[in-house]
Chain A
Amino acid sequence: MTLDTKRIVIAALGGLFLLSLVLVQWMETARKAEEAGIRPPHVAVPANSRECVDCHAEENPGIVVHWESSTHAEKGVGCMECHQAAIEEADSYLHHGEQIATVVTPRDCARCHDGEANEFAASHHSSAGNILASLDNFLAETVEGSRVDFNPHSPTPGKAVDMVNGLASAYSGCQQCHGSKVALESTNGGRITVDDLAPDADGIPTNADAFARIMRDDKGKPVLYAGTWPNTGIGRLNLDGTRGSCAACHSRHDFSPRRARQPENCGKCHLGPDHPQKEVYEESKHGIAFRDLKEDMNLDAEHWVLGVDYAAAPTCATCHMSGNIRNGGRITHDPGERISWTNRPPVSTVMDTDVNHKIVTETDPELRRTLIHDSANQKRDRMKDVCSHCHTDDYVNSFYEQYDDLVILYNEKFAKPGLAIMGALVENGLRTPTQFDEEVEWTWFYLWHHEGRRARHGASMMAPDYTHWHGMYEVAERFYMELVPQTREIIEHAHDAGMSAQAEAVERILDGILERPEHIWFEEGAEEAAERIRQEMARRYGGEERN
């Protein structure tokens, strides 16, 4: 190479190096601008989603901004990948040249996330929509609202109200967590749901008549019934036959894993007087550690494996869903895989489940053994795998002993007796089978549905105040001060009404319960026990017990 050529090469390389520094400067400026929120993060919009993004950036900028910050956007997954629909689908319509559906269902997500969708489909979460036929929904639809719309009884100044939607509480309350049965308006004035459409295995309606009756707006878009949409309830009954909504946990349109990993995400539904898991968690050492060490949780990690990516504190996701080093980092979308008691019903039962993931209720030990596909102990072992990242085996086993003891105490002392009393009242005609039309039914509902669950959930997640003061204390108070006196009053009224045989049958059951060693104090007094406590107080504190 001649000297002149070398000079030219040096100049060219020098220019190239300077150019690379200019590129670095440009990248740095862009990064700072994105950080400061001056410029949205750069993403490559897939060609078939470009028109959607351009238009919705004007119409609904929030949607686009959320999507742009998502992993989907980073990986080139645009609008069409989720919203695309076949022309035969019930809620599909042509929108700016693309056939799309508004409601994205687990079937859509399963196109890429089939493993997660299958796990979810097997979970109790996916059947949360069963509440639509449950006692709780009777409460919302009948007691709180009305199964039939009714005329308002007085005017609402400034608002033309000609009919009251009796299901409003169910739509805005229960179904926002449990999931609605998504409905389309029908041309005949009714509504079309999955029941009418009878979709096949691919989610395509088989009932041509119902499909033909779908009401469409002037642009051909099917009209979704407002009572059931918008809805991201976790057990939503979709028009294509699937159950659930992935957006319940993975908020659209950013689908942030970071958010799904945090307790606030679950707290949309798992809170309140009847199942305060969020509050229970916050009271526990786990929740306290999370609040303090949130910055160490590595919440943006790609896989977020306990023991690899973080170990500072557990969240709901850590214990119930996320991967850990003991299970090879396997995430599950079935939170029930690690739960060994169900504390949802009046009486807790162990989570021995069959091949269909249903709880085995068979009582014959041999037969029961053959039916169990995934036992409560197996589920507990999976949870212990999580616990053991921070606790020794002895510690974990002893915790579970405390938890089991509390659940069994509640079951045996209050739940099963309460259930027996309530059953006896119905069987003997001393109360109607209809719930919530008699005081004792409200009492019993509070006892198991609110206070009893609080006690059990408190024990399950190490929240002492919820276990005791918000839990067992109120269970006991409700039992002794309300359920027992109200039952006695019903018995007394039955005697007065000439139903002595029935009254005596219930009384035998009630007395039989109260004669048990754990209840005898209530009828016969507990002066001896109270005296022991007074003496202990005097020994410890040198004074009288204060009242």
Chain B
Amino acid sequence: MSVASWFGDRLPVSGRQFRELTNEPVPYHLKRWWFALGGTPAYLFIVQIITGILLAFYYESSPTTAYASVEHITNEVSFGWYIRSVHKWAATLMIVSVILHQMRVFFTGAYRDPREINWVVGMCLLLCTLLTGFTGYSLVYEQLSFWGATVGANISDTIPVVGSFIKRMMLAGDAYNQSTLSRFFVLHAAILPVTIVFLIATHIAVIRLQGVTEFRFADEEEAGGKTFNFFPDHLYTELIIGLVLMVVLSALATILPATLGPEANPLQTPEVIKPEWFFYVAFRWLKLFTGTAAVLSMGFIVFVMFAWPWIDGWIRKNTRFQEASVWIGILGVLTIIGLTLWEAFARH
């Protein structure tokens, strides 16, 4: 009995069936590179899983050992500095790519009926990615990551009704304590990744069920067919994107390796506390308002983002502003960039 027939008896799927399953017709606009970037966050997520597992071999999630273990990874473990740097840069690029992907979906109106659910799933993915970044940065246990987590918890505390509960859940108590880091670690290395896997699966399943949104550009009429094969044409495209990402990651990790600030000191508040760059916009927004108003306004903005397909549908149905979303989107993006730069250059 050959090996192929042995497997064939136990997995009764023929090569033809497998090709049919995977050879989904791909809309012609995906020949344009810009539209093929949806898989980028997924690539980076896989990089994060692999490098994260390697880092977890050495990381110790206790306030007394966390910083030393990161120092050990960076300075002593073979290739530790590289793995940590790739993990750090892949996190940064993942957040960038999720935001860019969401912007592409927004400005092309790909969230509209009947794809509202996938937009909500995408929003959940964005929040999970940001939360993963937040918890990951906290694990380093350097001064800014410690105080960033403390400030984050205090901000949560100002949410009416549930604020103090969220803070207690976050910190495993009323204040940062021995159990806080292990809670962040479990969130970062188990709960959030599993949630992201589930959300990505749902995201892709919904795309497969509904098909990719199709765009038609002027020159495509000449190109002929409406779709092209996933295998091997689109697979090659994705492979090229993946390899470019790996080369870029490797270059960033060697040229700008992850650094390590001073160890967290709960008794010494730094003069300037800043979160990671992707929270600059939220941090600056919170500084513009006070306490509960700041948190509630931000909650409202997040709610509007979740509900945007329906809000946009209502505007298009009941007003003459058919492209209102584009202008609102431009305003939103400029606001995000403005607030981020403001926070980046502000001393306090």
Contacts and interface: CB of A to CB of B under 8 A. Distances in A.
Interface of A: 3, 6-7, 9-10, 13-14, 16-17, 20-21, 23-24, 27-28, 31-32, 296, 298, 301, 307-311, 325, 389
Contact of B239 (A10, A296, A310): A10
Interface in B259-274: 262-263, 265, 267-268, 270-271
Contact of A311 (B232, B250, B267): B267
Contact of A6 (B79, B81, B240, B267): B240
B251 A20 contact: yes
Nearest to A32: B78
B87 to A, nearest CB: 14
B292 interface: no
Contacts of B246: 17, 20
Given A20-B247, A32-B78, A310 B262 contact: yes
Contacts of B237: 6
B297 interface: no
Contact of B79 (A9, A13, A24, A296): A24
Nearest to A13: B243
Interface residues of B, number: 26
A309 B237 CA distance: 47
Interface in B126-161: 143
Nearest to A28: B79
Given A6-B237, A13-B244, A20 B250 contact: yes
B236 interface: yes
B233 interface: yes
26 contacts: A6-B233, A6-B236, A6-B240, A13-B240, A13-B243, A13-B244, A13-B247, A17-B247, A17-B250, A20-B246, A20-B250, A20-B254, A24-B82, A24-B250, A24-B253, A27-B82, A27-B254, A28-B78, A31-B81, A32-B78, A301-B262, A308-B262, A308-B271, A309-B262, A310-B262, A325-B271
Nearest to A7: B236
Closest 5 CB pairs of A and B: A13-B243, A20-B250, A6-B236, A17-B246, A309-B262
B240 A307 contact: no
Contact of B262 (A13, A14, A298, A389): A298
Contacts of B236: 3, 6-7, 10
Given A3-B236, A23-B254, A311-B268, A296 B78 contact: no
Interface string B207-249: 0000000000000000000000000110011011001101100
A307 B270 CA distance: 8
Contacts of A24: 79, 82, 250, 253-254
Nearest to A12: B243
B205 to A, nearest CB: 27
A28 B236 CA distance: 32
A298 B142 CA distance: 12
B243 A14 contact: yes
A373 B232 CA distance: 82
A20 B267 CA distance: 43
Given A6-B237, A23-B254, A311-B265, 14 more contacts: A3-B236, A9-B240, A13-B243, A17-B250, A20-B247, A21-B250, A23-B250, A27-B82, A27-B254, A28-B79, A31-B81, A296-B263, A308-B270, A310-B262
B262 A3 contact: no
Contacts of A10: 236, 239-240, 243
A125 B112 CA distance: 76
A304 to B, nearest CB: 10
Contacts of B240: 6, 9-10, 13
A3 to B, nearest CB: 6
A310 B124 CA distance: 40
A300 B101 CA distance: 42
Interface string B67-108: 000000000001101100000000000000000000000000
Contacts of A27: 82, 254
B330 to A, nearest CB: 31
A463 B240 CA distance: 69
Contacts of B78: 28, 32
A42 B48 CA distance: 31
A20 B236 CA distance: 21
Contacts of B239: 10
A325 B270 CA distance: 9
Contacts of A389: 268
Residue from B237, B251, B265 whose CB has the most chain A CB atoms within 10 Å: B265
A9 to B, nearest CB: 5
A21 B240 CA distance: 17
A14 B263 CA distance: 39
B219 to A, nearest CB: 15
Nearest to A305: B262
Nearest to B262: A309
Contacts of B82: 24, 27-28
A476 to B, nearest CB: 42
Contacts of B243: 10, 13-14, 16-17
B90 to A, nearest CB: 14
A9 B244 CA distance: 10
Contacts of B263: 296, 298
A311 B267 CA distance: 9
Nearest to A307: B268
A7 B236 CA distance: 7
A308 B263 CA distance: 9
A3 B79 contact: no
Contacts of B251: 20
Contacts of A7: 236
Residue from A7, A24, A27 whose CB has the most chain B CB atoms within 10 Å: A24
Contacts of B244: 13
A389 B270 CA distance: 12
Contacts of B265: 311
A27 B255 CA distance: 11
A6 B238 CA distance: 10
A32 B81 CA distance: 12
Interface in B38-84: 78-79, 81-82
B303 to A, nearest CB: 39
Residue from B81, B143, B247 whose CB has the most chain A CB atoms within 10 Å: B247
A48 to B, nearest CB: 28
A93 B236 CA distance: 68
Interface in B187-210: none
B33 to A, nearest CB: 9
B335 to A, nearest CB: 33
A494 B82 CA distance: 85
Contacts of B271: 308, 325
Nearest to B250: A20
Nearest to B267: A311
A16 B240 CA distance: 12
Nearest to A11: B243
A21 B253 CA distance: 11
Contacts of A16: 243, 247
Contacts of A17: 243, 246-247, 250
Nearest to A9: B240
Nearest to B83: A24
A31 B82 CA distance: 12
A9 B268 CA distance: 53
Nearest to B257: A27
Contacts of A307: 268
A302 to B, nearest CB: 11
